[in-house]
Structure 1
């Protein structure tokens, strides 16, 4: 389990599926070198430069935070049970209510579908809220998600960023 990155007045709370083993070992979100979260965050314009995972503490200064649906670390998200995802979704709603971000950005459509019981959800803005925050589903930035490139993940993050203006 790794600590959430939260702060006051968040524009976006990014929500991973669960920490990977490298993230658990370092205490930093999206720590595996092949993960595309940090590069996509920068390319989309959310950060003025590429941040390293060890700089995650800077995110609240940009109005950003990070949490996970499930706190348990695993080598692959596919190791999580349906029950863990559903329980995590319920816990996430409480966390979002407390943190108060404008948008909850869930990084992984399959995990979102399971955790929030929305089997037909697609990438992009959702027609509902969680804990008072709009929901936007983004592609999973894991290097294991070969269907999405760095450019297309950054493009989706850029769409989210543009919606905040």
Structure 2
């Protein structure tokens, strides 16, 4: 998704969110991520309208969610956040204030990062299952899914790897804190963790697929099997049922 918001350069800074709502920043940051090269450093000035949901922590979490690493801690003054960040190979969050469901993956693959589509690799059954289950009506279109069906996307860990096994449990747990903060802020009705292994690492080692006994704030937690074609334990019919 490409945000229509203008990217303003002010005194060497890239200014985003000027006089806009805080919830519009993820799309603006995603747009910036798509425009700059991997390894590029940016100095950001984030200046949305003042809000009780806006502080240094939120600014840092939104930058990380958009696929940037922080070069130094966020400097926050007079409701304006200043961040020095570097773009990594990632897939920015697609989230908004009226989400019905937030899909949480483990971490993006290089293929998904390049295509800008979560679960985008040929053979991954997420989109066919979601379409047949009636969750979405347009294949592999995250903007359409968010705007028309209230379905958002993020991951526990933002950096890409070829295999999720390349990420250690502490990194998943650290990423879960960011995801939990995102959920408590935007309050989707349901959060769906895609893949049992992620939820087992961050919450319940004995968890089974389905609705979980623990919620996150007012948000119901659901866990589904991973839709990768390599997961022989779950058929397409099983995934549609979830």
Same fold (TM over 0.5): yes
Note if contact 1:70-1:85 (Cα within 8 Å) is conserved in structure 2: yes
Q: Residue 125 in 1 paired to residue 235 in 2?
A: no
Q: Secondary structure at the match of 2:191?
A: strand
* Equivalent residue, structure 1, for 2:200: 113
Q: Would you say how many aligned residue pairs link Structure 1 and Structure 2?
A: 152
- Distance in 1, Cα, partners of 2:161 & 2:195: 15
Runs of 4+ deviating beyond 4 Å: none
The question of whether the paired residues in 2 share the 8 Å contact of 1:5 and 1:66 is answered with yes
Q: Which of structures 1 and 2 has the bigger CA Rg?
A: 2
User: Which residue is equivalent to 2:233?
Assistant: 147
Measured in 2, the distance between the counterparts of 1:144 and 1:131 equals 33
Answer 1 or 2: which has greater helix percent. Answer: 1
Structure 1 residues not aligned, in runs of 5+: 157-165
- 2: CA distance, partners of 1:42 / 1:26: 19
Is the contact made by 2:138 and 2:144 (CA closer than 8 Å) also made in structure 1?
Answer: no
> How far apart, in 1, do the equivalents of 2:178 and 2:217 lie?
10
Q: In 2, are the aligned partners of 1:14 and 1:105 still within 8 Å (CA)? A: yes
Query: Where do 1:48-63 residues align within 5 Å?
Result: 49-52=137-140, 55-60=141-146, 61-63=148-150
SS at match of 1:129: coil
1:50 Cα offset (Å):
4.8
TM-score (ref. length: structure 2): 0.60
Contact 1:88 1:115 in 2 (8 A): no
Once the two structures are superposed, the pairs formed by residues 6-155 of structure 1 within 5 Å of their partners are 6-47=95-136, 49-52=137-140, 55-60=141-146, 61-116=148-203, 118-155=204-241
Provide the rounded CA distance (Å) in 1 between the counterparts of 2:231 and 2:176.
21
Where does the alignment leave 5 or more consecutive residues of structure 2 unmatched? Answer: 1-89
CA deviation after TM superposition for structure 1 residue 100, in Å: 1.3
Cα root mean square deviation, aligned: 1.2
